[in-house]
């Protein structure tokens, strides 16, 4: 695993992956990013081949896939953008993913790791959620990401494209820029607490999520590219710990030693999932993956990066 293409490699998770591959893996990394939410500064000081462009450009993707050992496909429109721009969501998340898979097939890439989302589960029947849980699509984002999964499975079954699918759960950590209007709740809470601003909670705050520190998500992502058992498989990437937004807000106030008030505001359209915690027994069994960061530990590391 030496020559690697990372789509969306200037984004939050992508840039953390690229840094790990370059600094610890001594890999030759090409990054494809359209900088819709990605930032060049995330890759400063790294020896990478940075290409500005979109996965929607099939010819460009085909060209960049040549001679690659692995493609990590992270490029997508996130959940908020997907709701605002559903056609763009379709083009990037579905057609873009098809382009990556087709290029991987044509260029005989050794492995494709497609990063999906736990949003495909909607409101699950059981907690923690198994990979076998039936999907429920409550927004365009979950629909488009699951469509990408479907194409990945089809390319694997029909053409033998060596693909592995990961379903991330609420990843947070360094490079989750608070300047980005689509930043996740942890980045927003930490920034507000540092600045003495209110921590705004949508709804009653009792909705739960499985918050995953980015270093743990990256470890799972790299292992997915290396594990022989992972071919054609889907894995949850989380912690199996269910945390309410209220609990998260109080933890943020503790680690920042902030006196910011907690303010409750109206729910958003995307706030329609009540509970989330992922079962990670499968990835633990196949890859011996186990997250090494508690939420408190991850918050402290994220706080250090923001300061």
Domain hosting residue 72, numbered range: 3-169+213-237
> Mean pLDDT over residues 89-98, rounded?
98
pLDDT above 70 for 179 = no
Q: Do 227 and 153 fall within a single domain?
A: yes
Contact 12, 175 (CB under 8 A): yes
Q: What is the pLDDT of residue 180?
A: 65
pLDDT above 70 for 159 = yes
Structural domains in the chain (count): 2
State how far the alpha carbon of 59 is from the alpha carbons of 55, 194, 304, in Å. Answer: 9, 45, 41
Q: Do 162 and 86 fall within a single domain?
A: yes
Per-residue DSSP letters for 206-230? --EE--EEHHHHHHHHHHHHH-GGG
State how far the alpha carbon of 96 is from the alpha carbons of 29, 37, 60, 108, 126, in Å. Answer: 20, 16, 11, 18, 32
* Closest listed residue to residue 124, CA positions, set 114, 138, 144, 139: 138
* Closest listed residue to residue 21, CA positions, set 37, 40, 2: 2
Please indicate, yes or no, if residue 153 is contained in any of the structural domains.
Answer: yes
> Mean pLDDT over residues 183-201, rounded?
93
> Mean pLDDT over residues 144-171, rounded?
98
Identify whether 172 is a catalytic site residue: no
The catalytically annotated residue of 141, 151, 156, 211 is 141
Please indicate, yes or no, if residue 123 is contained in any of the structural domains.
Answer: yes
Torsion, Cα 97 102 104 106, to 10 degrees, reads: -170
What does pTM read for this prediction?
0.96
Q: What is the pLDDT of residue 270?
A: 75
Q: Do 85 and 181 fall within a single domain?
A: no
Q: Do 100 and 184 fall within a single domain?
A: no
Residue identified by tokens 């365009």 is 140
Q: Do 51 and 114 fall within a single domain?
A: yes
């Amino acid at each position: 695993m030496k020559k690697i293409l990372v789509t969306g490699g200037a984004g939050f998770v992508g840039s953390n992956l690229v840094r790990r591959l370059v600094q610890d893996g001594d890999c030759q990394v090409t990054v494809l990013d359209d900088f819709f939410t990605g930032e060049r500064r995330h890759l400063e000081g790294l020896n990478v081949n940075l290409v500005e462009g979109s996965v929607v450009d099939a010819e460009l993707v085909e060209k960049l896939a040549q001679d690659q050992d692995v493609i990590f496909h992270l490029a997508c429109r996130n959940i908020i953008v997907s709701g605002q721009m559903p056609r763009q969501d379709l083009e990037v998340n579905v057609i873009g993913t098809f382009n990556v898979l087709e290029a991987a097939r044509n260029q005989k890439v050794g492995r494709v790791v497609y990063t999906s989302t736990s949003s495909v589960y909607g409101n699950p029947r059981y907690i923690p959620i198994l990979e076998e849980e039936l999907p429920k699509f409550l927004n365009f984002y979950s629909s488009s990401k699951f469509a990408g999964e479907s194409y990945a499975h089809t390319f694997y079954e029909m053409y033998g494209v060596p693909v592995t699918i990961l379903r991330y759960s609420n990843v947070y950590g360094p490079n989750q820029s608070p300047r980005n209007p689509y930043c996740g709740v942890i980045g927003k809470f930490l920034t507000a607490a540092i600045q003495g601003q209110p921590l705004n909670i949508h709804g009653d705050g009792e909705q739960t999520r499985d918050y995953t520190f980015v270093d743990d998500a990256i470890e799972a992502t790299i292992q997915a590219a290396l594990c022989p058992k992972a071919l054609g498989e889907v894995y949850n990437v989380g912690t199996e710990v269910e945390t309410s937004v209220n609990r998260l807000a109080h933890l943020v106030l503790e680690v920042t030693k902030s006196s910011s008030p907690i303010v409750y505001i109206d729910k958003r359209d995307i706030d329609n999932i009540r509970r989330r915690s992922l079962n990670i027994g499968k990835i633990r069994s196949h890859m011996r993956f186990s997250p090494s960061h508690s939420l408190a530990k991850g918050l402290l590391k994220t706080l250090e990066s923001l300061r």
